[in-house]
A and B are shown apart, each in its own frame.
Chain A
Amino acid sequence: KQEVTQIPAALSVPEGENLVLNCSFTDSAIYNLQWFRQDPGKGLTSLLLIQSSQREQTSGRLNASLDKSSGRSTLYIAASQPGDSATYLCAASEGGGAQKLVFGQGTRLTINP
């Protein structure tokens, strides 16, 4: 059974810092891995998706990497801003018919001005 873990559960950094969020998964047979952002009381916004055959994806100040052999993904945020404050969730897709996403518990990120 796939299990996804995100450490740390919470992170607070000053504005302008570069930071890395970590995601680990137990079963390397994933179809893809998605990173989401969730603002308090709001829905999930898809940030980046990495297919199992890819090593990384970039969007603006965000870069996500995937290492299936070690069961790890990282989300790198460059030049952090207060508006980046949110909970970040990673989710591994099992593929197949269910296309089930197995989510981590999330990292609650606070960027201090």
Chain B
Amino acid sequence: EAQVTQNPRYLITVTGKKLTVTCSQNMNHEYMSWYRQDPGLGLRQIYYSMNVEVTDKGDVPEGYKVSRKEKRNFPLILESPSPNQTSLYFCASSDLGVPPYEQYFGPGTRLTVT
């Protein structure tokens, strides 16, 4: 089944404790992206990647890092999480070789930083 998976689905952590949220897709998509969803602010793009070793900032990259060492994986790294990073996070992927580049989303990771 074609899908985008994220782990963990739920995470409660404390301020400053480094964490990684994994994202993996099995559709051989070149493009992957991270969004966060907050009440009243909607979904906003954090980082995106157009292919292996190619990443760039979205609208709200502060406090986050990403890496793209393999085509299928795009982990989101919070090196020193803060309470304002409490949010619902979504990973998305798209096939850049096939217009109109429909984006497929993972199930989401609910992160709480205390």
Q: Which of A's residues lie within 8 Å of B, judged by CB? A: 31-32, 34, 36, 41-46, 49, 51, 89, 91, 93, 95, 97-101, 103-106
A100:B59 contact, CB within 8 angstroms? yes
Segment 56-101 of B: residues with Cβ below 8 Å from A = 56, 58-59, 90, 92, 94, 96, 99-101
Instruction: Take A43-B90, A44-B90, A106-B42 as given contacts and tell me if A101 and B107 are in contact as well, using a CB distance cutoff of 8 Å.
Output: no
A99:B103 contact, CB within 8 angstroms? yes
- B7 in the interface (beta carbon within 8 A): no
8 closest Cβ pairs, A-B complex = A44-B105, A43-B107, A103-B43, A51-B100, A32-B100, A103-B42, A43-B108, A100-B45
Chain A's closest residue to B32 (CB) is: A99
Segment 14-59 of B: residues with Cβ below 8 Å from A = 31, 33, 35, 40, 42-45, 48, 50, 56, 58-59
State A93–B45 Cα separation when bound (angstroms): 12
A101:B106 contact, CB within 8 angstroms? no
Total A-B pairs in contact (CB under 8 Å)? 64
Residues of chain B contacted by A100 (CB below 8 angstroms): 33, 45, 48, 58-59
Interface-centre pick from A36, A44, A104 (highest chain B CB count, 10 A): A44
Instruction: Take A43-B90, A43-B106, A43-B107 as given contacts and tell me if A101 and B101 are in contact as well, using a CB distance cutoff of 8 Å.
Output: no
Instruction: Take A51-B99, A98-B56 as given contacts and tell me if A42 and B42 are in contact as well, using a CB distance cutoff of 8 Å.
Output: no
Residues of chain A contacted by B43 (CB below 8 angstroms): 89, 91, 101, 103
A34:B103 contact, CB within 8 angstroms? yes
Residues of chain A contacted by B90 (CB below 8 angstroms): 43-44
A46:B101 contact, CB within 8 angstroms? no
State A49–B31 Cα separation when bound (angstroms): 17
